[in-house]
Amino acid sequence: MKQLKSLLDFFLYSNIFISLCAAAMTVETYLLFHLEINWFYAGFIFSSSVVLYNYPSLFLSGNEQHSERQRWIFSNKKIIRCISIPALISTSVFIFFFPLKLILWFAPVSVLSFAYFLPITNLRAIPVLKAAVVALVWTCITFYFPLMFSPLSIWRGAGGEARFFFLLALAIAFNIRDIDIDRNAGIKTLPAIFGIQKTKIACVFFLFVCFALIIFTPCEAAIKSALLLSAITTAALIGFASEKRSEYFYSFWMDGMILLQFLLVCVAELQNFF
């Protein structure tokens, strides 16, 4: 049991799991539009996510160990470096397979992503911006950017907007986990300003917006049902969120809603195939 926990801690806290979720959501976009999957881009999203999410971990000090996750990171920085260096090399190699247009669009998003963590910019301290930046970056790299490899004629419907509100609800829910840390750091998130219950209502509202956008998005009934089921399941899970929940609740189950959506879309695609 102890070995299983150690393996799970490594999988979650080294950010491999969330990076897999980012790659899966990217592949999901190709499936939604019935496009050939660009595995180089999916690999790029995985490796760059490992680099981005592990970047702030390398600067974590002993005075910042507020959670089980942070304590694991502080005790395993060598492991994080061993994972991040190959990921950085892979990210650099993958770039050569992409058109200049994509690189030019990706550059400002990358700057925004790193600026989000830098103390000098302090973007996280701006009310509500913390969750919005995360949702925007994820929507760009997993939805809009993959479509740059394809004809503009497929850019239809409200798929991108629906994904943004889905991710926004998840990002805000994570603010519930960090409410005490954010308060101590002077970061004004929705839970810190309005409280946890009102924040949950806001998350459900954003998922309702996602739900409505999916309904009006032109796609197959099976795909639409998969996306709607994903939104409903996520809303139900957010109802259990609190600052007292374990790190696993957020790092596995909450992040796992992204992977669940991908798996539901895969099942829907198989139904369409047969």
Rounded to the nearest 10 degrees, what angle do helices 221-238 and 196-215 cross at? 180
Give the number of other CB atoms < 10 A from CB of residue 96.
8
Residue pLDDT, tens place only, 244-272: 898 899 999 999 999 999 999 999 988 76
More confident residue, 58 or 16: 16
> Does the CA dihedral 89-94-100-103 come out positive or negative?
negative
Amino acid code (one letter) for 139: T
35 pLDDT above the threshold of 80? yes
- Residue 30 pLDDT: 92
Full residue range of the structural domain in which residue 266 is found: 2-273
pLDDT for the residue 61: 55
Q: Please report which confidence band the pLDDT of residue 48 belongs to, taking 50, 70 and 90 as the band edges.
A: very high
The span from the CA of 83 to the CA of 62, in Å, is: 21
pLDDT bin (cut points 50, 70, 90) of residue 21 is very high
Domain count for the chain, please give it. Answer: 1
- pLDDT tens sequence across 110-157: 877 777 666 555 666 665 677 888 899 999 999 999 888 776 555 555
Q: H or E element: which one contains 28?
A: helix 16-32
In sequence order, what are the residues at sequence separation of 6 or more whose Cβ sits closer than 8 angstroms to the Cβ of residue 152?
none
